Amino acid sequence: MTDKRQRLFLNAFLMNTTSHIQHGQWRRPDARQSDFTDLDLWTGLAQTLERATFDAMFFADVSGLYGDTDADYSVYVREGLQIPSNDPVVLLGALAATTRHIGLAATSNVFQQHPMNFARQLSTLDHLSRGRIAWNIVTGTQGNGYRNFGHEDLADHDERYRWADEYVDVTYKLWEGSWDEGALLKDRERGLHADPSKVHKIYHRGERYRVEGPFLPAPSPQRTPVLFQAGSSRAGRDFAARNAEAVFLVASTPELAREQIAETRALAVSYGRRPEDITFFQGLSFVIGDNPKDAQAKADYYDEYVSTDGYAAHAAIVDLDGRVYPTDTPLREVRTNTARGFIEWLARDIVDREPTVGDFSLRWARGSRVVGTPSQIADEITRWQDAGVDGLNVINWVLPGSFEEFADLLLPELRDRGLAQSEYAEGTLRRKLFGYDRLNDRHPAARYRGAFTHGPRSWAEAEAAAKQTAAAGVV
Ligand SMILES: Cc1cc2nc3c(=O)[nH]c(=O)nc-3n(C[C@H](O)[C@H](O)[C@H](O)COP(=O)(O)O)c2cc1C
């Protein structure tokens, strides 16, 4: 009997599309992900995930196509590679109504919606779900996405994170500052629905946004939804260290995960947060067998469906005429504007020969994959936990089958070892993850609590106050 371990958080990594990560698998006879427009697929999956006490359904999203902006895009359409894809935020509304416990997380890029409207949508969902909403904050790598929203092209990398800084600042003001605690009264006797002295305009004026307020929704159970982030660059990690409560890793080894966790936590501490204020989720997929031979046979079967074109195209290894580079092309000959860092990162383990496009695709397809019996897989998962990982982002091969197998074959072993919970704690998603409902006082959003109670009463007053602050050298 081994000692029980700390439980790991479990996210189901999903997308409202056919081919999210494991390209080509949608063609399998048991795959239903191409029915992603059918609500029954998602409500059935949510039931499976609640039975398996997953913490959250985490939906990725895009705002445009991968690849260089002027390139032919037919490979994406052919592969069902994130096109067609539907809006995850709308889907969360349906799932809020059909689930009780599981967290519901949607990705939204900072340029795709005005922050006032986006914050309102998430507050509405947080009310309807009784506090189970999370937001994965992304800044995007798709030039086509920027063009879809009225911009010339992909903004410069660090500029994207400056944009994100202002965007989250607006949402924090709305979520945390616009309504004081106790503002909503619903007092029938006095005919006083809410106390006007506790509802404030925010008068935000920044480089990109001008937002007056007050926020239209009253505070939801979590106020600010749980904040997820997945940047890996310097600017991305810095943003995560300041803002994120959960960070997604796709580290190729537990040692690399350990390094990334240590770096991000140290940065968070430099911003006045505590190491435990950020949790880390490693992305892994599983091929589960009764015995090692059976597991390998299953993995070989999955490999038959791997679309090398799909993986290469996801990383934008596509020439300007829309042709995926042949599999034997050396990676150094690939011309791509968007995915250079990603390619280099994936190829860096191949040191004994010239890495090719084919290596890249298989490396990606197998990189996050753990093949074995439940006991072997649980051993591997403990290695990630020993490296400091707090949770798993479970990548699926097929919907809903990968999660049914997870629940039926792997979960009993994880529960036996204490690695997975057997029942849900009560309360909001943040309470389930961290033990409290609202962002803690160390988070930068907390500075807006009560900040507008004696705030400006007009734009003129707001601007005068801003000038005074600038003159005092306070940023
Ligand atoms: C697990 C995981 C999930 C991600 N999901 C999305 C997503 O849904 N949409 C998106 O535009 N980017 C997504 N990304 C990309 C990141 O948010 C980020 O834009 C990318 O890693 C580049 O960040 P960087 O420039 O800081 O390295 C994801 C990354 C990871 C590791």
Q: Which atom of ligand 1 is nearest to the CA of 157?
A: 25
Find out whether the beta carbon of 238 lies less than 6 Å from any atom of ligand 1: no
CA distance 475 to 472: 9
Helix (H, G, I), strand (E, B) or coil at 418: coil
Q: 279-288 and 210-211: which strand pairing?
A: unpaired
The answer, yes or no, to whether residue 349 has pLDDT greater than 90, is: no
Q: Which atom of ligand 1 is nearest to the CA of 139?
A: 19
Give buried/exposed letters for 111-121 (b at 16+ CB in 10 A, else e).
bbbebbebbbb
How far is ligand 1, taken at its centre, from the CA of residue 249, in Å?
10
Q: Is residue 121 part of a domain?
A: yes
Instruction: Give Cα separations from 158 to 69, 113, 234, 246, 402 (angstroms).
Output: 19, 20, 9, 21, 37
Find out whether the beta carbon of 141 lies less than 6 Å from any atom of ligand 1: yes
CA distance 326 to 321: 13
Domain span at 107: 9-307+369-442
Find out whether the beta carbon of 368 lies less than 6 Å from any atom of ligand 1: no
Token pair 């399998």: residue: 28
Find out whether the beta carbon of 61 lies less than 6 Å from any atom of ligand 1: yes
Yes or no: say if 107 and 88 are a contact pair by the CB < 8 Å rule. yes
Give buried/exposed letters for 63-82 (b at 16+ CB in 10 A, else e).
bbbbbbbebebebbeebbbb
Atom 6 (ligand 1) nearest CA: 60
Q: Is residue 353 part of a domain?
A: no
Find out whether the beta carbon of 107 lies less than 6 Å from any atom of ligand 1: yes
How far is ligand 1, taken at its centre, from the CA of residue 138, in Å?
6
Per-residue pLDDT reduced to its tens digit, 164-214 = 999 999 999 999 999 999 999 999 999 999 999 999 999 999 999 999 999
Q: What is the DSSP letter of 197?
A: G
108-117, 282-291, 461-470, range with the lowest pLDDT: 461-470
Atom 8 (ligand 1) nearest CA: 60
How far is ligand 1, taken at its centre, from the CA of residue 139, in Å?
8
Q: Is residue 341 part of a domain?
A: no
Domain count, the chain: 1
Q: Which atom of ligand 1 is nearest to the CA of 341?
A: 27
pLDDT of residue 1: 44
pTM of the full predicted structure? Answer: 0.94
Q: How confident is the model at residue 284 (pLDDT cuts 50, 70, 90)?
A: very high
Mean pLDDT of the chain: 93
Q: Which atom of ligand 1 is nearest to the CA of 232?
A: 27
7-11, 252-256, 403-407, range with the lowest pLDDT: 252-256
Q: How confident is the model at residue 2 (pLDDT cuts 50, 70, 90)?
A: low
| More confident position, 398 or 351 | 398
The answer, yes or no, to whether residue 429 has pLDDT greater than 50, is: yes
The answer, yes or no, to whether residue 368 has pLDDT greater than 80, is: yes
Q: Is residue 93 part of a domain?
A: yes
Q: Is residue 312 part of a domain?
A: no
How large is the average pLDDT for residues 291-312? Answer: 95
Would you call the peptide bond into 29 cis, given omega within 30 degrees of 0 as the criterion?
no
Q: What is the DSSP letter of 460?
A: H
Instruction: Give Cα separations from 413 to 203, 408, 410 (angstroms).
Output: 53, 10, 6
Q: Is residue 75 part of a domain?
A: yes
Q: Which residues contact 117 (CB under 8 A, 6 or more apart)?
A: none
Q: How confident is the model at residue 367 (pLDDT cuts 50, 70, 90)?
A: confident
Angle at 346 between CA 345 and CA 350, to 5 degrees: 105
Q: Which atom of ligand 1 is nearest to the CA of 109?
A: 11
Find out whether the beta carbon of 131 lies less than 6 Å from any atom of ligand 1: no
pLDDT of residue 466: 87
Q: Is residue 21 part of a domain?
A: yes
CATH no. for residue 259?
A: 3.20.20.30
Find out whether the beta carbon of 338 lies less than 6 Å from any atom of ligand 1: no
pLDDT of residue 346: 67
Find out whether the beta carbon of 283 lies less than 6 Å from any atom of ligand 1: yes
Instruction: Give Cα separations from 372 to 286, 287, 289, 379 (angstroms).
Output: 8, 6, 6, 10
Which amino acid, residue 128? L
Q: Is residue 143 part of a domain?
A: yes
CA distance 58 to 92: 10
